Each structure stands twice: as structure tokens, then as C-alpha cells.
Structure 1
Amino acid sequence: MSPEQARGLKVDARTDIWSLGVVMYEVVAGRKPFSGDTVADVINSVIEKTPAPLLRYASDVPEALEWIVSRALRKQKDARYQTANELLFDLKELKKKIDFAKLTGEITSPAVMPARVPASDAQTDVLAATSTYPSSAEFIVTEIKRHRLAFTVCLLVLVAGIVGVGIYLKAGKTEIAIESLAVLPFRNESGNTDAEYLSDGITESLINSLSQLPKLSVKARSSVFRYKGKEVEPQQIASELSVQAILTGRVVQRGDELALYLSLVDARSGNQLWGEQYNRRLTDLLALQREIARDVSSKLRGKLSGADEQRVMKDYTANTEAFRLYLNGRYHYFKLTEAEIRKSIGLFQQALDADPAYARAYAGMADSYRTLPIASYVPSKEAFPQAKAAARRALDIDDDLADAHIVLGWVGFWFDWDWTGAENQFRRAIELSPDNADAYRGYAQLLSSLGRHDEAIAMIEKARALDALTLVIQALEAQYLFYAGRDGEAIARAQKVLQGDSTFWLAHNILGRIYTRQERYDEAIAAFVRARELSSDSPEVITQLGYALAKSGKHEQAQATLKELRLIAAEKYVPAYSFAMIYNGLGEREDALKHLEKSFQEREAQLTFIKIDTRWDGLRAEPRFQAILRGVGF
């Protein structure tokens, strides 16, 4: 009876492997690995105790066989051999070594038995009494247990028995090619939140590596991290993400020691396809990441071609400390507050200090700098040039980094107003990484701003197909439909987002925009008020609310939003574009144009919307407005 059987837990093929481990132990040691005076004692031994080393009972046991048997007998299913084929492989390798040793005279007599200590009959009877539910492995090797042949002959019999077990376990299982995979966020079981960056970082690195495999769709980080910290059945994940397999992991850090447990699961049945445990030192983190990428890839695709293996195991740095700092930087970046993004930039710089040729660290830094003005944390001029410089440096080192091309795409049209150059960057990113939803999302934004609405909607639909659960992609689809004049579809899409998460403020904000254009001002104002509550008084939402209030005739309340923005601007950045929009709603043309010109001087990203935003229609004939349009590249 295996530990999981004794505890009343679910059993699977790995239970058979444990049973076979019991038999192997008894054949070599001449006694059972778990004993006790009563059934309860034996069950407790199975659950809690580790068998004595085989060397205690058989002095000639090779260290390799000791390891094989101990791995088959591990308490946790995830830590055992995951398939009979894995166990068979190790035994065959050991057999080859023994055969070679016999030929060279290192083993003189295969008929000599290792010395054994006999087990008591009472212990044998107790263990037999607990084996109420014999496994297939136990049945197959029953005849093996009746004989005590020489050590090497015993090993050969065990190998033959394992072959039978492997055939049995594989029978009835339909082998299918895995074409879609979700790598779920690895769990940090270190009892220390400081190690959280490791579990998140290894997950993201593995996603990036496996995405290089041909004909394998790997779900994006943004899709899978919504499951972080949640217990969700594989079948539910399979349904929501449309994947065939799921890779899960657990990370345990104790000082400089690192343990990682991986499990590849059939998403439809919940059955484990493969699993492995890795024990390394933290200083071996980089080598561990490569080893995991290789092992998982081989399980998904069998033998890799040289080119595929090179892509999957590509090294961006040989410096383990630089890699660790990079992972930590990405961890802080994804918190997406201004303070955390700035912290990520510092960590990327430390990674570059350790390895000045680390292209991924430059790309990470570029992404962080790009995000600061997009989130309106800082003026465009304060961060976009740094983002551009870091992305350029990354591509100088490695021109195949899709993430760096994406950053240059965003900077190209939001800051440089180089629409053709930006489009080329997004195209290049998609060429390099066809399953990168962020590339399609950026390209969709550019196309929408240019008024190429059908193309924009097609691109954001591709992004949604790749990253179906990311709310911002769904909300942006509603925005692009709105700019295309397809209000009904835009409302339906925004409402669908809110059905999934009623607290997602961007969807409320977009609904408010649609209602404002339809002159449904009460509904618009209500939507903006809700968005403001959920966004913690975002200046973006206050801007939209102020314009709607002005257009509805509530000029005093609109003026109050201007006052609020001025107070906020005394403490942090507020785009001049925001003031221009509210003045525009109030009909104060001169103030609106003055702030638009200031926005132009600051090269604010918001100006890229003026071609398609119908709220500016009343000013389009103004020469000063036309000059701004030309300056932005329209």
C-alpha cells in the first residue's frame, strides 16, 4: 500500500512505480522496506518513515541502484519516477555498466549473493496484510520475488519486469501531440516572500523558452498569472485557456539551496504525464533554467532538432547573478506602480553592471521606461528617450529580441511620431514571435490611431485569440470598435468585460466614452464616477468625467474637475492634454488650443489620438490645430 493509498488519496500510475520500488528493495535487501508489529504500525511506517539504506543489508549494492530504488519509494508522487519508461531507462544504464564491469573483470562472480539480514516472519505477515489492493506492478513482479539469484541476474529480471510494467501502464493510453500548453505560475513554498521573484521569474523564463518551439502554442504570462495563488482544476483551465497540457511547479528556497518540483498534466483528464524534481544551489540557477527548458521541451517534442534546441536553451547571459537580478527586476515591474517600476529599473541596471552584454536586461529596462509615461507617471520626455536607448542597445546585442522591437514600436508612434518606422518594428516583432499578443496589441493601437480601423480590429482580435483572458485586451477591442464608429459592438464587448470583472475600471471608462458621444450623459457620468472610484481618482478618468460634465451643461462641476487636476499636478504629473480636453468640452477654444500646443511641445502620447477622436471636430479647421496634426505626422 503506497503512501497515497494509506492516506486515502487519488492513485495513478506512479502508485505502481512505488509498489515496484517495494519489490526491488525486498529482492536486493531480503526484507521489506516498511515494517511494524501491527497493520497500523506498518501503515505509519509507509507514510512517515524512510527505509534503511540498501547497503545496510547488501554490501555490494551499487550507489546507482540505491538511488533508483529510493527514488521509486519517495513519499510524494511528484518526486518519484513519473513513468515506467524513466525507471526502465535508469536500470538499463546501470545494467550496461555492470555488464561492462564483468567484461573487464571488475565483477568476478555474478552468482555471489550480497550478504543480507533476514526479515522477521511477523513483519512479512503484517506487510502482506496491508496489501489489500495489489497494484499491477506487484502482480507482474510476483515471480521475481520467489528467487534469489545473483545480483546482476536479479537486475536483469527487474529490467524485464519493468518492461512489462511499462507496457501495462502505457496500454489504453492514446498518445497525442501536445500543441498547446499553459505554464501556470510556480508556487513559492519557501515560506519567504523574498523568494517570490524566483517562482515568478522561472515561470516567465520557461514561457519564453518554450514559446520558441515550433507548432506549440504557449499561453502568455498575462493569461496564466491570473491563476496565481488559486486552486483550479486542470479541466477548468483547459476550458478557459483552450490548452491540451498544463505545466505546474513548486519552488522551495532554503538559504543557498533550491528545490524545484515540476509536473506536466493532461489538461483534459488531470492525469500526470511527466514530473521531475531538481535540487540545486542558487548559484546554479542559470544552469537549472536551461536544464528545465531542455527537459520539458524533450517531453513535449521528443528529440529536438539542433536549431530548436538552440532556440529553447538560448543563453542571454552566462552570469548567474545577472540572471537572478533580471528575474527580480521583472518581478517588481509587473507590480506596475511607479515605485515598483523604478525599482525594477535599478535591478536591471545592477544586472547590466554584472553583465554589460545582457540583451534581455536592456529589453526589460526599456519596457519599464516605456511604461512610466504610458501610465502617466512621468512626462514623455522623461522616459521615452531612455526606453528607446535601452531597446536599441538590446537589439545591437541581439536583433532577434521581439520584446525590444515592441518597445521601439510604441516609442516610435507615441513619442517619435514615426508611424512607418513604428509599424515596421511591430511587423518585425510579429515575425520573430508570431504568438506574442503584446506585439499584436501594440500594432492594433498604431493602426487605430491612423484611422485604419478594420486592420486595427483584426489585430486586436488576434491578440485576444492568443491571450483570451487578459481584460485589457478585451477592453481595448471595445475602444477600437468605438473609434471605428461601431458603438453597439463596442458596448457589447465592454459589458462582456465587466461580466468577467465588474471592478475593471477601464471598461467603465470606455462605456462612459461611448455614452458621451451618444449624448447619454447621465449614463456616461455614472460610468465615469464608477471608473473613478475603481481607479483611485485616476487623472485619465477625471479628464473624461470633466468633459462629459461640460457637454451635459454642468459647467460648474466641470470646472471643479479642472481644479482637481491642478491640485494633483502640484504633486505628480498630469498631461496638458487633460486640461485641453476639459476646456474643449467647456467651449473655451483658446485655452484648449493653448494646452494642446503645450502637449505638443511635451510630445505627450495622448496627442496620437487627435486624428480619430471626434471630440476635436470643432477645432479641426483652426490653423493651430492643423499645425499640431501635421507635427504629429497626420
Structure 2
Amino acid sequence: MNSQRRQQIDRLLASALDRDPEDRTAFLDQVCDGDEELRREVESLVANNPRILVGGEATQLLEKVTTDRTIGPYQVIRSLGAGGMGQVYLARDERLKRFVAVKVIPEHHAEDADRLRRFRREALAVSALNHPNILTVYEVGSFEGGDFIATEFVDGQTLGAIIENGKKSLQAKLDTVIQIASALAAAHTAGIIHRDIKPANIMVRDDGLVKVLDFGIAKHSDLLEGAAQESLLTTPGTVVGTAAYMSPEQARGLSTDARTDIWSLGVITYELISGRRPFDGDTMLDVMSAVIERQPQKLTELDSTLPPDVDTLVLKALNKNKDERYQTADQLLTDLKVLKKSIESSEEQMLTAPQQPAPLGSGLANGFLTDGLPERRTAIDLTSDEKSQRLKTYQRAGLVVLLILIIIGIGGYFYFRKPTGKTIESIAVMPFINESGNSEIEYLADGMTDSLINSLSQVPNLSVKARTSVFRYKGKDVDPQRVGSELSVQAVLNGRVVKHDDDLTLYLSLVDSSNGNQIWGDRYERKMSQLVTLQSEIARDVSQKLRVRLSGAEEKKLTKDYTANVEAYQLYLRGRFNILKLTPDGINEGIACFQNAIAIDPNYALAHVGLSDAYRSIVMSTEKQPELFLPRSKAAAQKALEIDDSLADAHTAMGITLFWYDWNWTASENQFKRALELDPKSANAHLFYSHLLSNTGRHTEALAEMRRALEPDPFVPFSNALQGQFLVNAGQSDEALAVLQKTFLLAPGFWIPHAFAASAYIEKGMFEKAVAEARRATELSPAQTTSLAYEGYALAKLGRLDESRAIISKLIVLSKTSFVSGLPIAMIYNGLGDKNKAIEYLEQAMQQHDPKLTFLKVDPKWKNLRDDPRFQDLMRRVGF
């Protein structure tokens, strides 16, 4: 049997063992595709694999667990498979509402008190690591005499499946290895050695996050002893997967240390890059002999496009003398990062302009193209053959440069007029994932996402999907290609945030949505004190990876910091996070955050804008007195403008208060226009300018402006609902209902589109449907009164006068204990035909300064009053 066939069998065996028994037949039907010899071989190995040989015990455990349906506090959902240390189940922790993986320890392990004690000690040691690339251990416990370990559940693929697929770019592969090395470095620092690093013990989530499994556990799983192990050594294919990752000292039975894990990671790196293992054979003994005696073929001999430094790094990790290997995982991690950076730098240079090759003596091992990186020394030494190969590489590069210079001399103008790389013109920044295990810092993940969206929106000719469009994916595991298709973007940026004490780590991955390939990925490790500058650094790096060309002024705008104080910045992020909850408690907490940020940095313009938005949200979301809070909103916006007149959001905030509170239409429109001059892509400015245009009767302009507002943010429920109301006011009720029906699907629990649908049905004379939609809106949001107004009006038109008046009575009683505008009462009286009462309560709404009076000119429900002098006087006072 040749080595290629052997590797094929090994991979199919690993994949088959990872599947539930009932799924294996269908899997083998698919992958063997009529190759009966291949199928028989795999089925034989599955039947004789150690994981299956302990099946009797596993079956008993499975029956017990299935009967009881719980393991300790965990509710079992299904079996995930069996391993050397026992059966593994997917379960749910009902206390914390999360999925977990629970491994039940076989009885023959549990009966050995010393083994069990060491097992628990190692599990507890690993649980203290708190590293994003190490599987989190939640609990070690017992149930009815059995023992279990509960860990986080990782939904993804094994690294073996990733290797088999083989579609990742070199940078993406290196990013995977970097994450594994980071996990090893953390574990080794804590005195924990894995000893069984292999693809089956590494999971990769769909977003690229790596999780290393079974830390400190594998070394205790001496499952096979004596004759059983002897038979396995000569059985073709059995356990070859594990032997292939053993270090020479492991294969010889000598003592091992952290350098054994480094060897195993070297094997994985080799296999991940090339798709084949460095040491192979037909039996376990053959493989172990190759590990001890043979040198692996160079990766550059398998793929001539690879840079020679890949060989330098991998062969150092695979040095058979552990004293000449990397001595620590930190050393390997450092060189992996430099290698990845040099490859990215080389590609960027290829994409922009011809570059002279880096001279020998710069960068890692005198070879990496580390332009812009500090010079550093390393322990990697080049052999004479490698130096000769390096020299030939540079000679070839020199010839290429010479040829390019000749081309430039002949037609350089036309050459440089061509685009030098694919510029990405649209992007979705997905909600950053908080992987700290602490919901208290969710604000940080959301805030960093928002900040990056806002920064990238400043980039000319780049379409950035706005917050609402991307945050509907929050908490969901979504394929980037699906996001690209649904949002019509070329690229998707994913991020993961980990905060531990004062340490902050951010992982970014930029993915091509057309094929799912990673364009770029990086990890930022900073202190919290560097949070402000980190945001600017990220914005700059991402824009560069998008290959967007910026002028000096544009880059300065992109990376602008509005405060240098980290505490003030965190308070600002907390404030934004809280007011977006749109609850009274959330908004009040947001106000306190903004006020505290301003107390720390009085010149923090964005915090003043946030405060303005918060005061306005109190009025619109919780129906508080406008005359108490809208002047405060205006004052905060004014202060922001005094600090920074170039801040588009400040002009938008001022425009809204001039519109809603001052009823100064001309001044408000000027503010919106100025905001759009400063930030032509501001969805918020387009939205509220559209609002002003609609309420002043400029319907064609309003709907065009709304389309601009929805362009970066097509799924925001509020904007879509408001568009429906604007269509009603423009006399297009059928079109309005089509938009509002779509909005129901976007946000099933959102009351506003149902209220506006009631308004549309009123204009169509479909009053029963209007009542139904109004009641649905009230059901979804009992505190608001707009839907009661529409219900009472429609009931009056249906002739159900007592029901209509009952709503008026309800509103009047409610007004004794809380704020109620006179406007909904006036609308119901108008539906009943009582013009005098309608005018009386409109006057009350005027005294209360209700912003909804701005609809008087265009809302068809008031058209019967437009010839009344009293109503005309009201209109003048509202600015019409």
C-alpha cells in the first residue's frame, strides 16, 4: 500500500470516528464512492479502533445517561461520540442558558484514585488558564458515582477536516498555527504540557477561532496496555494518526517536556501547508521509525512558490535533537508572526509597486522581508544549501525587477494607470464577539464594532453596512458568503474580543464573501490603557487591507481620536451600549455614562453628542415630557458643535432638535445639509432630513432621501417603518403597506410598523384592519399612546362610539399619574367629529411641545380641520 493511499485511509478513519455511528454508513457511501476495497479497509479500522473497543463500557454509560437525561446539572441533548477518556455529550446548562460538552469518565479510570486525582488536578489547572485558544473547562464533578468534566461546546470542524479540505490561503494557515502556538505558550508558562497535539485535538470554528482540546488530559489516558498495544503496533493503519505526531523522544519512550509539543506543532504546520505528513508509513512501527530516523522533504520542494523561510521555521521545529529545536512555544510564536507579516508585506508590495528584494541580513534568519519591522536576531541558522537557494531566489528577483524597469521605460505611463490590485468597495463589519466569558464587557465588543463602522464610513468610495444591518446577525454563527449575499458586500470583517484584567486581545479576520477565503487576519494584544489608539490603528490597518487609497486629510479623519482618556472612552462606549436598549433604565444609565465621560474630559465632543441623543431618546422611546428633555438635548448638541464644528453627528443632533422642538424648519434643514457635506454617507443624517422633507410636504424629495438613508442600512426597522408612514402621507397607502409588511418580518416584536400600518388602513377605509394593527402595536408596547390614537380614530369611523370614547377616558385617567400628550386625545375626538375638543387638545399638545405636531401638515387624518382658522393658527405656531 503506497503512502498516498495510507494517508487517504487515515483521514477517512479520523473523519468516520468523529461521526455518530448512525451517520457513518452514509458518510462512507459518499466518500468511498464505489471503492469497495477502500471502504472495507476503513470499516475494519473503525471496528478495531481503541475508541470502539471500549464501546461496551461507553454503551452502558450511554444507556444510563439517556435514561437519566442529565449529567449533574446538565441536560443531555445527544451524544457527540466516544474518546479514549470516555463518552462525550452535547448538553445544556439551564442555569446559564448555554450549551456545553460533557465528557463522562469510564469506570476503569474512575476506580484508580490516583489517576482520577491527577485528572481532576490537571483539569482545574487548565480551567485557570483563561486563554481564548484553549477549550474552557467549566466544571469537574460527579453524578451517581460517575465522574464528568464539563467544557465549552465548540461548533466547528477538526483541524483534520480543514487539512483535508486544503482551501485555506498560506496566511490563513499560518494564522491557525499562530493560535495553536499561543495556546501552547500559555499552557507551558503554567507548567502544563499537552503531549498529544494532533489535528483531532484541535477544533476550528467557522469564524477561524482555534480551540485546543484535552490539555493535561491526554497524558493520563493510557488506555491500551500489554498485548493490546503490541497488536496495534503491527496492524496496518491503526493509531497511525497519533504516531505521526509523536516526537522522537516520545517514540523512543524517553522523558518529554514542552519541546515535545513544539515538535507536534511542527508536524501539524507541515501537514497544514502541504496537505501531507512529514513522516509516513504503512504501520505504526513504520511511522515511528520514520520519526526517529528520516528527514522530512522540504516544503519548498513540494511547492516552489513557498518562501524559503517557511522551510527554515518548520525544519527548526522538527529538529530531532530537542536541544536544537525551538526551546519555547513563545520563540516559535514570535517567528510565526514575523513570517506571516513578511508574507503579507511581500504580497502588498507585489500589489502596489515593484520593490527591490530585501538584502540578506534583514529580518528573521536573514531572510524575511520585514520592511518596517524592528531588526531582530534569531536562533534559526541557514544551511549552505539554503543560502545557495536564497541567493538564486534573489538573482531571479533581480532579473524580474530589471524586466519591469524595461517595461516602465517603454510604457510606464500606461502600466501605472492600471489598477494594481482588487480594491474592495463594500464591506460589512460584523458584531465583534465577546469571548471573555464576562457579559459585563459586552459594551466593549459592541462599542469597538460601532467605532470601526463609523470610522470606515469616512472612507471615500467604500460602502459600509450600517449598524442595524449587521447587528441582526449578533449571536448567530453565520457564514461570510451568506452575509455577503444578503448584504451585497464584497468583504466581511469578523472580530473577537478577549479582556482579562488589564489585557485586551482583538482578533480580526477579513474574508472575501465571494469564496469564503480569508484576505487578511491579525491579532492585536494591548493593554486597556491603549484602547483609544488601538481603535485608530485598526481603522488604518483595515483600510489598507481593503486596498483603499487615502489622501493625508482622509487618513487623518479616519484615525481621528476624539479623546485621549481611556476611561472617558469606555464610558462613552457604555453609554452608547445602554441607550440602544431603548428602555427607561438603559437610557438613564446611558445618560449617567455620558455625563461621567464629560466630567473626565469636558472637550469630548462625541460624549456631548451621545448625551444629546440620550435626552432625545427619553422623549421618543419612553414618552416623557418633551419640554423637560429636548432643551437639554439641544444644549448638548450645541456644546458638541462648539468643541468640534466638523463633527457630522453633532450637526445631525442639532438638526433634529431644531426640527422637533424649535420647529425651525429652515435652520434644521441647514444643519442636515451641513452634516451631509461633512459625511455624505451618514444614514442618520439622511434619515432625519428625509423626515423633515416629508413633514413639510416635499414627498418626492423625502422618499429619495430615505432611499439614501436605507442604502447602507437596508434592514433597520425604524427607517423602514418611517418610510411606510411617509408613503401614507404622500397618498401612497398601498405602497406603504408593502413596505410595512416587510418590516414586520425584519422585526416581529417592533410596535411602530404595526401602528403605521393602522394609519395606512385608515386612509384606505379599512377600519377593522386598522383596529387590529393598532391593537397589535399596543400589545407589543403598552406604554406608548400612538396606537391608542389610531385605534380610537378607527373605532369612531366604524361607528363604535362607546369603544372610541372609552379610549379617551383611559388616556385622561392615565394623564393624572404620568405624562400623556394631548395629541392622541385630539385625534380620537377628530375621528368622532368633535372639532372643538380636537382643537382644545391640540392646544394642550402645543403647550407640551409634542414633536409629533410636526406631522400636522401632511397627516391625512387632520385634513378636515385645515380650513379651520384655529387649526391654521396652530400650524403657524408649529412653523408651517
In structure 1, the residue corresponding to 2:361 is in which secondary structure? helix
Aligned positions, number: 566
Name the CA distance, whole Å, in 2 between partners of 1:329 and 1:591.
42
The reply to whether residue 484 of structure 1 matches residue 716 of structure 2 is no
The reply to whether residue 148 of structure 1 matches residue 148 of structure 2 is no
**1:24-83 Cα deviation digits (max 9, x unpaired):** x9xxxxxxx99999744356669x9741797973499999975543448xxxxxxx9388
- 1:133 corresponds in structure 2 to none
Quickly say closer, same or farther: Cα 1:95–1:332, change in 2 above 3 A: farther
The reply to whether residue 179 of structure 1 matches residue 425 of structure 2 is yes
In structure 1, the residue corresponding to 2:592 is in which secondary structure? helix
Name the CA distance, whole Å, in 1 between partners of 2:780 and 2:828.
21
- 1:69 corresponds in structure 2 to 335
Shift of 1:304: 4.0
**1:83-130 Cα deviation digits (max 9, x unpaired):** 8334889995993268999xxxxxxxxxxx9799xxxxxxxxxxxxxx
In structure 2, the residue corresponding to 1:181 is in which secondary structure? strand
Name the CA distance, whole Å, in 2 between partners of 1:378 and 1:631.
22
Q: Is the 8 A contact 2:174 2:336 kept in 1?
A: no
Q: What are the within-5 Å matches in structure 2 for residues 469-618 of structure 1? A: 469-536=715-782, 538-618=784-864
The TM-score normalised by the length of structure 1 is 0.80
**1:536-590 Cα deviation digits (max 9, x unpaired):** 3531111211111122111111122123323443443221212211222222333
Query: More strand per residue: 1 or 2?
Result: 2
Q: What are the within-5 Å matches in structure 2 for residues 234-249 of structure 1? A: 234-249=480-495
Name the CA distance, whole Å, in 2 between partners of 1:571 and 1:19.
60
Quickly say closer, same or farther: Cα 1:364–1:114, change in 2 above 3 A: closer
Q: Is the 8 A contact 1:366 1:390 kept in 2?
A: yes
**1:457-494 Cα deviation digits (max 9, x unpaired):** 11112212221111222222221111111222222222
Q: Is the 8 A contact 2:572 2:594 kept in 1?
A: yes
Name the CA distance, whole Å, in 1 between partners of 2:360 and 2:789.
72
- 1:41 corresponds in structure 2 to 242
Shift of 1:346: 0.6
| AA at the equivalent of 1:427 | K
| AA at the equivalent of 2:262 | P
The reply to whether residue 81 of structure 1 matches residue 340 of structure 2 is yes
Q: What are the within-5 Å matches in structure 2 for residues 3-152 of structure 1? A: 6-9=159-162, 10-11=165-166, 12-14=168-170, 18=174, 39-42=240-243, 50-51=261-262, 57-58=323-324, 66-71=332-337, 81=340, 84-86=343-345, 95-96=361-362, 148-149=383-384
Name the CA distance, whole Å, in 2 between partners of 1:34 and 1:350.
51
Name the CA distance, whole Å, in 2 between partners of 1:501 and 1:240.
16
Q: Is the 8 A contact 2:598 2:608 kept in 1?
A: yes
| AA at the equivalent of 1:95 | G
Quickly say closer, same or farther: Cα 1:191–1:98, change in 2 above 3 A: closer
Shift of 1:628: 1.0
Name the CA distance, whole Å, in 2 between partners of 1:470 and 1:433.
19
**1:591-614 Cα deviation digits (max 9, x unpaired):** 222211111112110111111122
Shift of 1:5: 7.2
The reply to whether residue 218 of structure 1 matches residue 218 of structure 2 is no
| AA at the equivalent of 2:323 | Y
The reply to whether residue 253 of structure 1 matches residue 499 of structure 2 is yes
| AA at the equivalent of 1:399 | D
In structure 2, the residue corresponding to 1:230 is in which secondary structure? coil
Percent of residue pairs identical: 40
The TM-score normalised by the length of structure 2 is 0.59
Name the CA distance, whole Å, in 2 between partners of 1:19 and 1:394.
42
| AA at the equivalent of 2:160 | R
Shift of 1:447: 0.8
Name the CA distance, whole Å, in 1 between partners of 2:815 and 2:651.
33
Name the CA distance, whole Å, in 1 between partners of 2:340 and 2:865.
71
Quickly say closer, same or farther: Cα 1:82–1:184, change in 2 above 3 A: farther
In structure 2, the residue corresponding to 1:252 is in which secondary structure? strand
Higher relative CO (Cα under 8 Å, sequence separation at least 6) belongs to 1
Quickly say closer, same or farther: Cα 1:252–1:59, change in 2 above 3 A: closer
Query: More helix per residue: 1 or 2?
Result: 1
Q: Is the 8 A contact 2:430 2:473 kept in 1?
A: yes
Q: Is the 8 A contact 1:376 1:573 kept in 2?
A: no
- 2:564 corresponds in structure 1 to 318
Q: Is the 8 A contact 1:186 1:203 kept in 2?
A: yes
Shift of 1:237: 1.3
Aligned-pair Cα RMSD in Å:
3.9
Name the CA distance, whole Å, in 2 between partners of 1:304 and 1:615.
51
Name the CA distance, whole Å, in 1 between partners of 2:452 and 2:364.
37
Stretch deviating more after TM superposition (57-66 or 254-263): 57-66
Name the CA distance, whole Å, in 2 between partners of 1:512 and 1:115.
74
- 1:282 corresponds in structure 2 to 528
